[in-house]
Chains A and B, each alone.
Chain A
Amino acid sequence: MPELQFREAIRAAMVEEMERDEDIFLMGEEVAEYNGAYKVSQGMLDQFGSERVIDTPISELGFAGLGIGAAMNGLRPIIEFMTWNFSFVAFDQVVNNAPNIRYMSGGQFKIPIVFRGPNGAAGQLAATHNNSVESLYSNFPGLKVVCPSNPDDAKGLLKTSIRDDDPVLFLESELMYGMKGEVSDADDYTLPIGTARIAREGDDVTIVAHSKSYWRAMEAAEELAKEGYDAEVIDPRTIKPLDIETIVQSVQKTNRCVVVDESNPFASFASEIAFQIQDQAFDWLDAPLVRVTAPDTPAPYAGNLMDEYMPSAKEVIQAAKRVMYVD
């Protein structure tokens, strides 16, 4: 299998799908002439031309709505937000129109659209450029939220997202675009939305983590293994629909769970996991769930504070020991 960067895996997914289906187009700020702010769409203008790879003004509300209108008329747009922080100016299109039109039209209009772009913190970008949107957007019925942690999952899941007849929010990471990983070159490689991956098997504690947090969880698991504790790490890959079954089965084995999520904690994805586990695995729990999240504050600018702000492997280890009643 070839080794690709995360950005290359995403590009491969888009290119393969656009070659397969002429109704698919890519639109967003700097996606065409500049080859993408993060070089995700490098070379795509040359390959597909300016009718299918389209630069927009800085007008998220406008081009998000344009994408939804195109979807209603039978096309399959991929709308890139330069980062998900900027989706907030397109909020009404993303949370009101995209998920509700199919329902409100009695199924007359499908909305086969993908909104994609980098999500979450990316170093010293200050509070307004550090938002993690998975908890927020997964609150709206009708939106699928996909959040891969490695290039292979990114490719397989993006292809599936593009083929989905309903709106999918595809959350990438600025800090992970350069990450390399083996990516399947199988013909028509797709992965199902809503299936978690057991990344590491273990009997002592379940750690649920997605995207960047997944890597913090894996680092923690390696450290815990040195001390003799065997952590099971689960990457949900899809925030919504959530594969709670895989997580519950794991908790039934380990009797304890830590959720790592760089979102803010209140009403978050981590809270939702905690609720669902106590609902479905109450009698298997030997300890209350523990979350490792960003604190309930705006993200700082200073580098040292930012290190404190983000979930770390050290915090994950502490949380795991807390639920295992050691130390």
Chain B
Amino acid sequence: MAVTVEMPKLSDTMEEGVLSAWLVEEGDEVSAGDVVAQVETDKATMDLEVYDDGVLLKKVIGEGDAVPIGQLIAVIGDKGEDISDLLSGAAGDGTAAEEDEEAAEAPSTEQQPSVSGDGAARQPQHARAPAGGNGQRIKASPLARRMASDHGIELTTVDGSGPQGRIIKRDIEARIEAAPEAAPQPAVAEQPAFEAPAGDAYTSEDISQMRKTIARRLAQSKYTAPHFYLTVDVDMAQAIRARKQLNELAEEQERARISFNDLITKACAVALKQHPQVNSSYLADEGEIRYYNQVHVGIAVAIDAGLITPVIRNADRKGLAQIAEETRALAERARNRDLQPEEFEGSTFTTTNLGMFGIEEFTGIINPPNACILAIGAIRDEAVVEDGEVVPGKRMKLTLSCDHRIVDGATGAEFLNDVQAYLEEPMNLLL
């Protein structure tokens, strides 16, 4: 009995996955637990395991194909088994690897009914077919759907001239006919004013899963969470001293060195415990504000393909050494795109640091469903006034972006003041 393998949901935010590589061939024996392919999700490249024993009868999608969660990607069964039923179920959605054979023998006569007499009388009423985006279904005749699929035409871009805006054969034919004219030939100037550089005007690439997710989530955040920003300038002199001492110990004990970022993670975690409103989520759909009893700090890590935020769980209860070690390991895995979903999901607060690039200050976009994000600037040498004298000082700007639906100005300021206080007197972190 053949069984299907579908695109699994590999992360909370995943909506589709790209099959980046097949690791077995059609006809190979597979056993439950075998990794048969790698799937690129919005966050990471993950292994696709199968849950059944048998022969991989069919790869329904090819390497590089993107398919939504739940869609058929392979069939496992007994050698020689007839799986046409299972495959025909997948054929209709246009992503199946093989074209329906019958589709090739399209009707030979594709022209519209010809008309004599007053052609104007036949001009169809153009009603815009409801676009797919707003949840309304697109009305199209079965033939129009098939023709659109054969010609790679998005139905959402076609005006339907049939009843209730139904897209019909002639609408697709009109589109096919219009297509070559859509890209007008550039007019040739007789005497070019300058020599244009050789080569194409631009290069393009497909938008990666990760890019799509970043775009979707950050746009969602900016559109729905009213942001406001609070900035403090933190005196880092004590923190620098404390770190120096801690790292001397770390060297002796052969432990991971502690970074300023680790100190800030710890300071935030302890302060979050004291400010539950900052460690919360505004969940409009559920009609509730959720205060988290645990503190999970996400740390934005830049990687080649984009950005990911591994999470230090229960950071308020972890020592600096452990935070340093975990952060280093997670960042390394993130760069290798090896993170497992549980390692980058479930943050209750996030920090983002551009200090290493010399950025003095900036504002972060809140990582939903967090209430706040802390943007960390560079530590700078600054002339400061101490006891009436100008002396050299070390300063660092922190900017807190707050979701005003949950966090008001005073609430955010009190939290940020506490973070500042912990960093200016790091011994308090030990208490």
Q: Which residues of A contact B (CB under 8 A)?
A: 203-205, 227-230, 252-253, 255, 282-287, 324-326
Contact = CB atoms under 8 A, between A and B. Distances in A.
Contacts of A255: 107, 141, 143, 169
B93 to A, nearest CB: 13
Contacts of B115: 227-229, 326
A285 B143 contact: yes
Interface residues of B, number: 25
A326 B109 contact: no
19 contacts: A203-B111, A204-B113, A204-B114, A205-B113, A228-B116, A229-B115, A230-B114, A253-B109, A255-B143, A284-B142, A286-B142, A286-B143, A286-B144, A286-B169, A287-B162, A325-B161, A325-B163, A326-B115, A326-B122
B168 A287 contact: yes
Given A252-B107, A325-B168, A325-B170, A287 B141 contact: yes
Contacts of B89: none
B127 to A, nearest CB: 12
Contact of B168 (A229, A230, A253, A286): A286
Given A252-B107, A255-B107, A230 B113 contact: yes
B141 A285 contact: yes
A283 B99 CA distance: 14
Nearest to B102: A283
B231 to A, nearest CB: 61
A253 B115 CA distance: 18
Nearest to A251: B107
A285 B107 contact: no
B88 interface: no
Interface in B93-120: 102-103, 107-109, 111, 113-117
B306 interface: no
Contacts of B162: 287, 325
B113 A228 contact: yes
Contacts, number: 60
B141 A286 contact: yes
A312 B116 CA distance: 24
A283 B146 contact: yes
A282 B142 contact: yes
Given A285-B141, A287-B162, A287-B168, A229 B107 contact: no
B114 A228 contact: yes
Nearest to B168: A286
Nearest to A203: B109
Given A283-B102, A283-B145, 15 more contacts: A228-B114, A228-B116, A229-B115, A255-B141, A255-B143, A255-B169, A282-B142, A284-B146, A285-B142, A285-B143, A286-B141, A286-B142, A286-B143, A286-B168, A326-B115
Contacts of A229: 113-115
B226 interface: no
Nearest to B119: A228
B113 A284 contact: no
The 5 tightest CB contacts between A and B, nearest first, are A204-B113, A228-B116, A286-B143, A286-B169, A286-B141
A286 B144 CA distance: 7
A324 B113 contact: yes
Interface string B226-254: 00000000000000000000000000000
| Chain A CB within 10 Å, residue with most, of B114, B142, B163, B168 | B142
Contacts of B169: 255, 286
B409 interface: no
Contacts of B109: 203, 253
B392 interface: no
Nearest to B114: A228
Contacts of B132: none
Contacts of B142: 282-286
A326 B142 CA distance: 19
Q: With a 10 A CB-CB cut-off, give which of A255, A285, A286 has the most chain B CB atoms.
A: A286
A234 B168 CA distance: 24
Contacts of A228: 113-117
Interface centre among A227, A229, A255, A326 (most CB of B within 10 A): A255
B70 interface: no
A204 B114 CA distance: 8
Contacts of B68: none
B319 interface: no
B124 interface: yes
Contacts of B141: 255, 285-287
Contacts of B170: 325
A83 B116 CA distance: 45
B88 to A, nearest CB: 12
A203 B107 CA distance: 10
B108 A283 contact: no
A203 B113 CA distance: 8
Contacts of A326: 113, 115, 122
A255 B172 CA distance: 14
A287 B163 CA distance: 10
Contacts of B124: 325
A205 B122 CA distance: 17
Nearest to A326: B122
A217 to B, nearest CB: 17
Nearest to B169: A286
A252 B110 CA distance: 10
Contact of B116 (A205, A227, A252, A253): A227
A123 B142 CA distance: 41
